[in-house]
Amino acid sequence: MKRVIIDTSSILFGFTYNRNVFERAKEQFSGYKLTVSRGIIKELTKFSNTNGAKGIRARVALLELKAKKINVDNISVYPDKYILDSASRDRNCIVITNDTILAKKLSLINVKVYKISKSGILKLF
């Protein structure tokens, strides 16, 4: 099955502008399985324990992950490593990240990378 891997950076960026990256990805990539890793869940959990806007966005993101029944891959390595390793093994997957350094690395191995804009549009990197 085709997968869309969603990175922490796009999840939090989207919620900063009241945009839900999970909904956008489901609309734009119907037929794909949306996936995050256990490492991304750990990162969101760490942020959710902080005060302020970032903590609130992380808590909302964790609730959305459960509500939208997003697939969680049980691999618990650092998120960028997980994404690079997974994408290099499965070149048909799509990655959504707002991390420019990660996006450049993925582009070098010919992985399709999208970023979520402030208006909520998923744009090819």
Per-residue pLDDT tens over the stretch 34-91: 999 999 999 999 999 999 999 999 999 999 999 999 999 998 899 999 999 999 999 7
Give the separation between CA 84 and CA 105, rounded to whole angstroms.
8
The dihedral through the CA atoms of 94, 67, 76, 14 has a sign that is: positive
Amino acid at 125: F
- Token pair for 107: 């582009």
Return the CATH superfamily for domain 3-124.
5'-nuclease (3.40.50.1010)
pLDDT of 76 reads 84
The pLDDT tens digits for 4-23 are 999 999 999 999 999 999 99
**Residue 28 burial class via C-beta count within 10 angstroms: exposed 0-12, middle 13-18, buried 19 and up:** middle
Extents of the domains making up the chain: 3-124
pLDDT given at position 16: 96
pLDDT of residue 97 exceeding 90, the answer is yes
Torsion angle of C-alpha atoms 27, 93, 103, 53, degrees rounded to 10:
50
